[in-house]
A and B are shown apart, each in its own frame.
Chain A
Amino acid sequence: MSIPPDSDYAILRAEHLGRSVKEKILVQDASFELKRGEFLAISGPSGSGKSSLLRLLNRLDEPTTGTVFVEGVDYRNLQPRDLRRKLGMVSQRPYLFPGTVADNLRFGPAQRGETLPQEAVDSLLSQVGLRGYAERNVANLSGGEAQRVSVARTLANSPLVLLLDEPTSALDDAAKLEVEATIQKVVRDQGLTCVMVTHDLAQAARLAEQALVLEAGRIVRAGPVREVLHA
C-alpha cells in the first residue's frame, strides 16, 4: 500500500512492542506512531531500553510481543532486507567498510544489484557537506566525517524512515554540531520521517517535534517534545 505525500496515515506504527531476554525486560508494551515527515526523539536514562526499542523497529532484534506496521503493513510480512532498506539505520559508531567513501555509499544499492551512479554519490556527499570526498579512503576520515558518510550511506538506500541511534554521542562537540546540522538539513530537505535515540535532551529539543521518554523499558511520557522534556 503506498501513501500519498501529506497523508495523515501513519508511516510507522509500533503496537505493544516488547522484548525480554532471559526474563529481563528490555522493552515493554511500547506503542506509538509517526506520520510522514515527523521527527521523534526517544530519550531516557542509560539502560532504559532506548536502543533496544530502535533495534526492534528495523527488526535487528525480534520482538517478544507486539509488532510494527510500516505503511500499514505488518513488518513480519516484509522481507527483512526490504524492511531494513525502508527503515535505514545510523548507529552510534559509523562502522565504515574498508575502501573509499564511494564504495561505502554504493554498498546498500549493490545489495539489490544496483549501481549507484557517480552523480548520485556526489549529490549524497553534497547533502552531508562532504563534496569531493568520494575517492577518499575511509581510514583517513575524522570521527565527524565518518559519521556523516554513515548518514549518506544510509540515505543511498532512499529510506522511508531514518533511525538514528545516538549518532553524536561518540563525537567531540565540534563534530557533534556538524553531524547534527547534517541531520537537520537532510531531514528537512527530504521531508524524511525520523526516529532518534538520544540521551541529550537539548539535542532532542533542537531536532525533534515529538518525544517519548523510556524508563525501565516502558514509555513513561510521550507527546510534543517541549512538553515531554520539560514535564
Chain B
Amino acid sequence: MKVVIMGCGRVGARVASLLDHNGHDVTVIDSDAAAFRRLSDEFDGDTIIGTAIDEDILRLAGIEEADAFIAVTNGDNRNIMAAQVARMIFDVPQVILRIYDPVREDTYRRLGLTTVCPTTTISAMILDQVISAAGEPTRPRVVKEG
C-alpha cells in the first residue's frame, strides 16, 4: 500500500515508522526538516520538506498513486485543507485526518472525511478510568517505586 503522511510529529512519525516496518510504501511530508529525526532508525520511506496544502508537493509525494493519505500536523485547519485536496483533487481512496477541536471534527465527519479527534477520544478514556475507579469499593492503593 502507498501511504502519504503529512506531519512528522510524534503521531505522524510513529504511524510512518510502523507502516514502513510492515512493508508499506510511505512518504512523509513536514515543513521542518528537523522533524524527520523522530522517524525510527530503520525507516526506509521517503521524506519531503514542504507543506501538503500545496498540490505540487503532494504530487511530488506520489499522491496520485496513493491508497491512503493521513493528515496529522498540529494545525486543525491545515489538516482539513490538505485532506480535502487529497480527497477532491486527487481522489485518494482513504483519507484520515486529526482534528483537535471536537466541533470542527463533527462538521468535517459529516462532510464524509474520516476524522480522529484526540480531545474526545482521550477525554472518554480518562472518564472511563475515573468512573470505573469510582465504582470500586476501595480506593486504589498508591504504589511507590524504589
Q: Is chain B found bound to chain A in the same assembly?
A: no
